Structure 1
Amino acid sequence: MLGFLAYIGTVKKGNGEKYSPKYQYAILGAVGVFIDEVTLNEWADIRRSARWLRNELPKLPKSAPRLIGKQVAARLRDPGNLQLVEDLDCRLIILIAAETGLRRKDIAAGMTTDCLLELDDGKWSIVFTDSKKKVPRSVPVHERVALAIQAHIAHKRSTLPGTRNLFARDSTDTVITLTLINRALTELVEALDIRTSNGEFLPVTPHMFRHQNATDWLEAGMPMAVVQKLLNHESMRSTEIYARLSEQAVREVWEKTRAVSSAGEPVERPTGVMEEAAWMHAFMGGASQALPNGRCGMPCGETCEHANACLYCPLFMTTPEYLPVLRDQRDDHGKMMQLAEAEGHIRIVEKNRQPFVALNKLIASLETIEKRELAVAGGQAG
C-alpha cells in the first residue's frame, strides 16, 4: 500500500505536470473502497485494519460538507419513490441512511438479522457495529423504518436460512458491496429526474444524508450534544461544522422571506447594522422557542411561560414557508367547528372560532407576500 501511495505521487500528465492533490486523493479513495470490499468479504488475506493513514494522504483544502437539500432528501426517502429501487438490500439501506444519517458501512456491514429492538413503550431502535470503533451502538428509528427492517429480516431469513448479516448476498454471509449501493442511489436520482441548476443529474451519495440530517436537526433546535450522539462523533468539533451550516441555511431563508405578525401586519426587516442585530434576535428566538408555525420575536434572555405558539401574542411572527402548517391548523379548527355545530356544542364552536379567524387572517397576508415574491422571481427569470 505504501508503495502504491508513493507511486501515485510520481504519476504525471502527458504534458509532464503532476496531477493535483484532489485527483490523487480521488484515486486513493477509490482504492480505499476496493480494500474495504476485499477485507469485509475476506476475498484476500488483507488485515481489516489496513487503511491509509490520514497524514499519508495528499493535503486538501478544507471544504464544507455537501448537502442534498431538504426537498431532495424528502423525495429520496419517500416510500413511493424508494419502490423504484429494485434491489431490496439497496432500497432498505438508502431508507436507513436517509432517516438516521448512519454511515453507509455501518448499515451495510454492521447490521445483523437481530438488529431490531422494540422498547416497552412502543419505541424502536436498531443496533449496529460501529465500523470505526468496532463496538455495538444503537440509534432510535421511526416505526415505519422499523417495520421495513422487520419485513427485510423475514425476507432474508426465508431466502438465506442461517444467514446472520442483514445485507448478506449469499449463504456465505458475503455482505453487499458499497459501490452497488452508490449505483442504486444514482439510478434513483436519474429515475426521479433530480438535476442541478446546470441541468445535470445531482450527484448524491449515502453519506450526504448524514450531512443533511445533521444540519436539519440543528436547524430544528435539537441540542448539539444530541446530534453528536446520533452521529457517533467523538469530538464536538465534528458536530460544530453542521452547526455553522445550519446557521448559514437559516440566515439565507430569513433574508429571503418576509414575516407577518400575529395581527397579519408585515414585519419589515431592517438594513445595515440594524440588520445584523435583528438577525441575532431572530436566530436566538428560533433556537430558544421552536414553534411549528412561525417563530418567537421575544427579546433574547427573556422567557415565556407558554410552551406552544400563541396566535394572539404580539411577539409571534411567521413567514410563507409555514403556510402548509397554518392551513392544516385552520382546517382542523374548521372541522371541529362543523362537528360541534352538528352536535349543538356551542362552547366548542366559539372556542375554535377565534383561532380559525386569526389563522385565516395570517394565511391571507402570507399568501399575498408569496404571490408577490413569485411574481418578482418570475420577472427575474424572464
Structure 2
Amino acid sequence: MSYAFIRDTRFELQRLLIADDPWADQFPRDSWDLRLLDLANEDCCRLHFGGIPQPWLRALTKRWARWRLTRGSSPAGLTLSVQSVTRLACHFAEIDGVDAGPAALDRARIETWLAALQTDVPSAHTRSRTINCVGVFLRDVHRYEWQPELARSAFIYDDAPKPRALKPRFIPEHLMRQLEAPAAVAQFPSDDGRVLLKILMACGLRTKDARWLPFDCVVRNAENNPYLAWLNRKIHDRPAFFPLSEELAAEIGRQQQAVLERFPQGCRWLVPASLKNVDGSKPVSDRRMRDHLAIWLERLSLTDEHGSPVKVTFHQFRHTLATRMINADVPQPVIQTLLDHMSLAMTAVYAKLHDKTLRRHWENALKVNHEGQKAELAADHPLAGAAWAKMSLVRAKVTLPNGYCGAPVQTDCEYANPCLDCRFFITTGDFLQQHRQQRQETSELIAQAEQAGLARVAEKNRRTLGKLDTIISALEETAENQIVVGGHVEDVDAAS
C-alpha cells in the first residue's frame, strides 16, 4: 500500500470527523490546513501563525486572517500578510518582551520596526509589500475594534517606499524570432503545454490565466471570427477576449478533443493537470509549466549576441506582445482592452519605452548621407529634440526601403523612393542589407549594359555603384553590436 494512498485516506477521514464545524477544529491551531476549510488552492494550502511570540497578537492575527479568508482574500496573499505581521511581532518581542501588551504597540514601536526593516530587508519591493500588509492589518483591527487596548497611534501612514516605475521586460526581436520558429515550438516537451505556449505568445495572457483557461475558451462573433475568452484573475475574474487566428483556434480545438478522450465525462479546463487528477478537477500546475519551459530553453540553447545563455519567462511574452502592438501603432486604448490592463497608465509604460528606445537607437546609430558622410547631431545640441520630433513625424509619414528622407516635412518630392544623389537622403546600418542587394543588382545591370554596348547606361550605373560602395563602406565601420560615437567605436551597452 503506497504512502500517498494512506496519506489521502487519513485526510479524508479527518475531513469527515470535522465536517460539522471545520473552523472549530482549525482556528485554535497554530497551523491551519486550508484544504479542510475548502479554501486551499495550488499556490497555498496552509497558514502558519506559530512564529508570532505574543499570544494576544497571535489570536488577533488569526481572527483577522479568518475574516479576510471568508471574504475572498487570496490564501497566497494572506500568507504574505501573516509573514509581515510576524516580522513586526518578532521586533516587538525583541524590544519589549513577549509579555508586552497591546498598549505597548504604539507608533514609536512601529517607527523602530520601520528603521529595522531598512537594514533587515534590503529589497525595496519586499519592504514596501511588508509595510503595506501590516498597514492593512492594523487598519482593520482599529476599524472593527477587535483589540480596544491597542494603542490608537498604532498606524501605518505613508511609510512604504515609493514603488519603482514599471519597466516592461520584453524579449528582443532576434530572440523572439528564434522562439516563434515552428521548429523551435515543436521542441516544447508536451503537446498541451505547446498549445499554452502559443496562446501566451499570441494573446499575452498571464501564466495563471492561461493555465486556468476554461475548456470552452473559444467564442465566435457574428462574422464567425474566433476569439479567446478568458478570465482576468488579477481583477476578480473579469471576462476578457482576444482575437485568435484560425490556425490557433484549430489547435485549441485539437486540444479540446484530446481532453475529451481523457475525460469522456467532461472537464472544466483546457489543459488539465497530468498527475493526481483522476476526475479532471485540477488545471495544469505552474510547477509543470515552469519545468517544461526550462527543458525547452535548454533544448533550444538560446543565446544572446554575446553567446551567453538566455532565460525567458512566460510573463515576458505578455510584455513582448504589448511592445509589439505599440510599435505597430495600435492605439493604446485598444491595447488596454486586449490585454485587460487595469488602467491606461499601465499601457502607457510601453509607449513611453518605445519612444525612448527609438530615440536612443536613432541618436546612437551611425547615420550616413548620400555622400557616405556622417550626418550627426549631438544629443545635447539645442536642436536635438526638434530633430527627433521631425524624424518621428517623417518615419510615421514615409516608408522607404533603404533609409529616411531628411527633407523638411513641408518639402514636396516627386520621387516615391529616396535617391542616392539627394542631399536629404540619410541611412543607417538597419538598411545595410538593402544597400548590398542594390549593389549586386547594379553590378548586374552594368554587366548587361556593357555586353549590349550601352555605354551611357553603364556609366550612369557606375556612378550609382560608386555611391553605394561609399555608403556601404561607411556603414560597415561598425560591427553588429557596436556603434560609432564621437568618431570611435563603442559597444552599444557602454554607449547607452
Band the TM-score falls in, shorter-chain normalisation: 0.5 to 0.7
Partner of 1:372: helix, strand, or coil?
A: coil
Alignment of 1:55-134 (within 5 A): 59=161, 61-63=163-165, 64-115=167-218, 117=220, 120=223, 123-131=225-233, 132-134=235-237
- 2:114 matched to 1:4? no
Tell me what 2:342 maps to.
234
TM-score, L = length of structure 2: 0.54
Give the whole-Å Cα distance in 1 for the aligned partners of 2:308 and 2:478.
27
TM-score, L = length of structure 1: 0.67
Distance 1:361 1:86, change over 3 A: farther
Give the whole-Å Cα distance in 2 for the aligned partners of 1:303 and 1:227.
34
Distance 1:94 1:265, change over 3 A: same
Tell me what 2:390 maps to.
281
Alignment of 1:344-363 (within 5 A): none
Partners of 1:113 and 1:166 within 8 A in 2? yes
Tell me what 1:348 maps to.
none
5+ residue gaps, structure 1, are: 29-54, 338-355
Partners of 1:97 and 1:206 within 8 A in 2? yes
How much has 1:364 moved relative to structure 2?
5.9
Question: Could you say which structure has the greater relative contact order, defined with CA pairs below 8 angstroms and 6 or more residues apart?
Answer: 1
Larger radius of gyration between Structure 1 and Structure 2: 2
Tell me what 1:373 maps to.
478
Partners of 2:213 and 2:231 within 8 A in 1? yes
Which of the residues 170, 183, 194 maps onto 2:302?
194
What is the RMSD of the two structures over their aligned residues, measured on CA atoms?
4.5
Query: How many pairs does the alignment contain?
Result: 328
Tell me what 2:254 maps to.
151
- 2:325 matched to 1:217? yes
- 2:401 matched to 1:270? no
Distance 1:236 1:278, change over 3 A: same
Give the whole-Å Cα distance in 1 for the aligned partners of 2:466 and 2:298.
42
Alignment of 1:273-312 (within 5 A): 273=381, 274-289=383-398, 294-295=403-404, 297=406, 299=408, 310-311=417-418
Tell me what 1:250 maps to.
358
How much has 1:10 moved relative to structure 2?
5.8
How much has 1:207 moved relative to structure 2?
1.3
Partners of 2:405 and 2:418 within 8 A in 1? no
Q: Which amino acid aligns with 1:163?
A: C
5+ residue gaps, structure 2, are: 1-77, 92-115, 131-156, 446-460, 484-488, 492-496
Distance 1:369 1:117, change over 3 A: farther
How much has 1:246 moved relative to structure 2?
0.8
How much has 1:167 moved relative to structure 2?
1.1
Deviations 1:270-299 (A, max 9, x none): 124233321221223334556676555464
Distance 1:231 1:366, change over 3 A: farther
How much has 1:247 moved relative to structure 2?
1.3
Tell me what 1:165 maps to.
269
Q: Which amino acid aligns with 2:473?
A: T
How much has 1:175 moved relative to structure 2?
0.5
Identity of aligned residues (%): 22
How much has 1:158 moved relative to structure 2?
2.6
Partner of 2:270: helix, strand, or coil?
A: coil
Distance 1:234 1:371, change over 3 A: same
